[in-house]
Amino acid sequence: MKFSLGFSPCPNDTFIFDALVNKKIDTEGMEFDLFLEDVETLNQWAMQGRLDISKISYGVLPLVLSQYELLDAGGALGKGVGPLLISRKPIPLTAINDCRIAIPGRRTTAHLLFSLAFPEARQKEFMVFSGVEEAVLSGAVDCGVIIHENRFTYQQKGLVKIVDLGEFWELETGAPIPLGGIVFKKGLDPALANKINQLIRKSLEYAFSNYPELPEFVRSHAQEMDEWVMRQHIDLYVNNYSLTLGPEGEKAIEILLQTYERVHAGSHDSPFIS
């Protein structure tokens, strides 16, 4: 049986799925048409119901629950893993509402966490996450929300942290930060969802058992990334929550869904709907 499968080319995703898509484990007859895309593209596709299995931002989860169910394995949650708001020079928090802000996608978790911290900010420019740093450096925007590998390199470029949006979330909720999860299309055999979940977990267990070796699949999709950045990326975003959400992870997602409703209800022009 063949499924369409989408995830990002970032090291955490390629690390998790390497053994599955490259058949280093027994896939039990499952085949996959692979789509490697940035997460905002995957979010858009999930809203269209395009793929059978997909990585998404938890920020878009409320908008796709009618079409997809959330799997237990393969996601990214944790503490100390949230997006950062950065700029070229220090900016008082009271001035953020008047700033031009680069956001890595309208329907991302990063946008939801930013909106929770700065609900009155309106001058937002949405772009692919890899373009945020350059937008800040060039002066096209005053500040930007960075995710993924940019968390590890922004200081080398002379940029400064204004606020850790993940830390803000943790102080507000006491929960780990739900960044991204894996969804399975409804309408397919529910037993298949369970099987796919088990295979994703086995794929990650295989990766963990061979770490710190970096698979060629990870390296080939992170060609411009230093090895230490790849490892930091994996060490930060891949953890026990990636094997199973557990009660704490499930509670964090419940809080995020409640937060989405609160932020959405507070604006007639929802930041999550075009």
Delimit the domains of the chain by residue range: 2-77+178-265, 84-173
The catalytic site residues sit at: 148
**Is position 55 annotated in a ligand binding site?**
yes
User: Looking at residue 224, what is its pLDDT?
Assistant: 76
Residue 23 has pLDDT above 70, yes or no: yes
Q: Cβ(3)–Cβ(52) under 8 Å?
A: yes
pLDDT tier, 149 (very low <50, low <70, confident <90, very high otherwise): confident
56 known member of a binding site:
yes
What pLDDT was estimated at residue 251? 96
Asked if the model's pLDDT at residue 267 lies above 70, the reply is no
- Which whole number is the average pLDDT over 131-155? 94
In 3D space, the residue among 86, 94, 81 whose CA is nearest the CA of residue 144 turns out to be: 86
- 103 strand-pairing partners: 126
**Burial bucket for residue 114 (CB in 10 Å: 0-12, 13-18, 19+):** buried
CATH of domain 84-173: 3.40.190.10
pLDDT band, residue 53 (cuts 50/70/90): very high
pTM listed for this prediction: 0.89
Q: What is the CATH number of domain 2-77+178-265?
A: 3.40.190.10
Q: How confident is the model at residue 271 (pLDDT cuts 50, 70, 90)?
A: very low
Arithmetic mean of pLDDT, 192-198: 97
pLDDT category at 150 given cuts 50, 70, 90 is: confident
- The reported pLDDT for the residue numbered 268 is 44
Phi-psi region of 88 (alpha: psi -120 to 50; beta: other; left: phi over 0): alpha
Give mean pLDDT, residues 24-47. 96
- The chain-wide mean pLDDT, for the chain, equals 93
pLDDT class for 152, splitting at 50, 70, 90?
confident
